[in-house]
Amino acid sequence: MTTTFGERLLELTATRGRLCVGIDPHPSLLKAWGLALTADGLRSFSQICVEAFSDIAALVKPQVAFYEAFGAAGYQILEETQAALRERGTLVLADAKRGDIGSTMAAYAMAWLDPDSPLAADAVTVSPYLGFGSLQAAFELGNRYAKGVYVLAATSNPEGVEVQSNTNASGVSLAQQIVDQAARVNATHAQHGRAGNIGVVVGATLESAPDLSQLNGSVLMPGVGAQGAGPEDVLRLADGVQHLAIANISRGILKAGPEISQLRKATLAAAQQFPPVVA
């Protein structure tokens, strides 16, 4: 059977730690790094990140919006960046947060998950708020090509609570419904004791998390570092599935740039806080 995205991620985290490093070329960071707010500045920023992260981080997450802000040139640089990272042995998560219906969702899925696409990544983030079933095309390609699909479930932004905490007639929160439906997509792999391709996003800054015990997929946990969460929050919220919980740090590491040696030092120090956990 084809190795799943979940299994590939577990293999890398076993040696590199349970860390996802974000590439967020925010204008303030470009300025702090002494780079121009131009496509050339964006390319330099991205190339530095590739050199710093590609062989030591298990998962690297370019924030698509910051590339999109530069138009066609930005997308070209994103293509180059993702390809370079993947060629050097790390897994790439495109933080695109796509969500739509029908043929439009199918096109989004092809853009980020089809191996022949110029934008091909190892995983993509998606939004379920047009209905979980609207993401079916992404799930199908994820399972076909062993690519990861991270569904927003309980996010770290404070505005998300008013939506994600709403309950259905049975008293189950929307966030829990999303996790449960993701678990059903992973069920076939779970039957064979394998981590599936479908993951969820759960903020490390939350007071409590949905029940993740049946997910059998990766849990991406943003909010670590600059937003205030730490290793103890990741362990607490991912109780019982810590081996699948991946801490996401972006600004907390990027502020160490632009020197590659300092970025690597910050990445390795962060990874030590999230060592492999035996299932």
Question: b/e map of 53-65 (b: 16 or more CB within 10 Å)?
Answer: bbebbbbbbbbbe
Find the farthest-apart pair of alpha carbons in the chain and give their distance in angstroms, rounded. 54
List the one residue out of 237, 197, 202, 207 whose CA is nearest residue 221: 202
Q: How far apart are CA 191 and CA 84, in angstroms?
A: 35
DSSP H helices, 186-243, are 187-191, 231-237
Q: 42: how many CB neighbours lie within 10 A of its CB?
A: 24
* CA neighbor of 222 nearest in space, from 164, 149, 138, 153: 153
Alpha carbon of residue 108 to chain centroid: 16
Q: Which residues are catalytic?
A: 97
Q: What is the C-alpha to C-alpha distance for residues 15 and 195, in angstroms, rounded to an integer? A: 17
